[in-house]
Amino acid sequence: AAGVIQSPRHLIKEKRETATLKCYPIPRHDTVYWYQQGPGQDPQFLISFYEKMQSDKGSIPDRFSAQQFSDYHSELNMSSLELGDSALYFCASSLPGRVVQYFGPGTRLTVL
Amino acid sequence: EDKVVQSPLSLVVHEGDTVTLNCSYEVTNFRSLLWYKQEKKAPTFLFMLTSSGIEKKSGRLSSILDKKELFSILNITATQTGDSAIYLCALNAGGTSYGKLTFGQGTILTVHP
């Protein structure tokens, strides 16, 4: 069965650089969620999109922005990267109106 | 603010043992509670619970919710080394927080042969 696809899987950046993470939801899933998981931490909700509109916002820094495109894929743009942004970034998707979220494999971002 | 607390934070058992993982929560508008298993990478879905007292079961895993006392448990019987993982409890609240999941800290389960 098709799963959530995230790219890249690993990313290494320097401080103050920018990064773009991509997420391709499971076919027919119209809602996308982004989570950040620091080392030894639980996933923290960042932002979500439903039908290409932002539906909810969590603890996402102003340096980050995201959008969902017409094909439902989503991109998380991160600027002025800081050491503390080093984490595993998960994307999850869900069917219309459904609660269960299916997670992608994550992008491990390392900021040096 | 919605809150999820899991216990114990870590658990070490031997194959064949039975384990019970706990999840308590505080929420303004409860919608559902979900359990996920996280091994190396992405959390994988186990159960979703919305009603009190109805047990969800899948093989050796089962879970139940108590909405009055605001907790859920995840039971694993006859544990195997492949059950070693982090088990995450997550809350889905209604209202303006529609959709997002609030996770607990997770329980790290280690099953020794």
Q: Tell me what pLDDT residue B95 has.
A: 64
Q: Which residue has the tokens 């303006």?
A: B96
Contact A105 B42 (CB under 8 A): yes
Q: What's the angle, vertex CA A90, arms to CA A87 and CA A94, rounded to 5?
A: 165
Confidence category of residue A1, pLDDT binned at 50, 70, 90:
confident
When pLDDT is averaged across residues A99-111 and rounded to a whole number, the result is: 95
Q: Tell me what pLDDT residue B98 has.
A: 62
Contact A50 B99 (CB under 8 A): yes
User: For A48-86, what is each residue's pLDDT tens digit?
Assistant: 999 889 888 898 999 999 999 999 999 999 999 999 999
Interface mutation target, options A46, A99, A102, A108, chain B, most CBs of B under 10 Å? A99
A41, A44, A48 member nearest B99 (Cβ): A48
* Residues in B touching A104 (Cβ below 8 Å): 42
Hey, is the C-beta of B10 within 8 angstroms of any chain A C-beta?
A: no
Q: Tell me what pLDDT residue B40 has.
A: 80
Provide the edge-to-edge strand list for the sheet that holds A74-78: A5-7, A19-24, A74-78, A64-68
Hey, is the C-beta of A93 within 8 angstroms of any chain B C-beta?
A: no
Helix (H, G, I), strand (E, B) or coil at A83: helix
Interface mutation target, options A54, A88, A101, chain B, most CBs of B under 10 Å? A101
User: For B48-98, what is each residue's pLDDT tens digit?
Assistant: 999 888 899 999 999 999 989 999 999 999 999 999 999 999 999 876 556
Which residues, 6+ apart, have CB-to-CB distance to A38 below 8 Å? Answer: A44, A86, A87, A88
Q: Tell me what pLDDT residue B2 has.
A: 87
* Residues in B touching A48 (Cβ below 8 Å): 99-100
Which H or E element spans position A81? Answer: none
Tell me how far CA of residue A61 lies from CA of A78, A96, B74, in angstroms. Answer: 9, 27, 34
Q: Which domains does chain A have, with CATH numbers?
A: 9-111 (2.60.40.10)
Q: Are strands B30-38 and B43-49 parallel, antiparallel or unpaired?
A: antiparallel
User: For A27-53, what is each residue's pLDDT tens digit?
Assistant: 999 999 999 999 889 999 999 999 889
Hey, is the C-beta of A34 within 8 angstroms of any chain B C-beta?
A: no
B10: β partners: B108
Percent of chain B with pLDDT over 90: 78
Q: Are strands A87-94 and A31-37 parallel, antiparallel or unpaired?
A: antiparallel
Rounded to the nearest integer, the mean pLDDT of chain B is: 93
- How close is the nearest chain A Cα to the Cα of B113, in Å? 25
Q: Tell me what pLDDT residue A9 has.
A: 96
CATH architecture of residue range(s) B3-112: Sandwich (2.60)
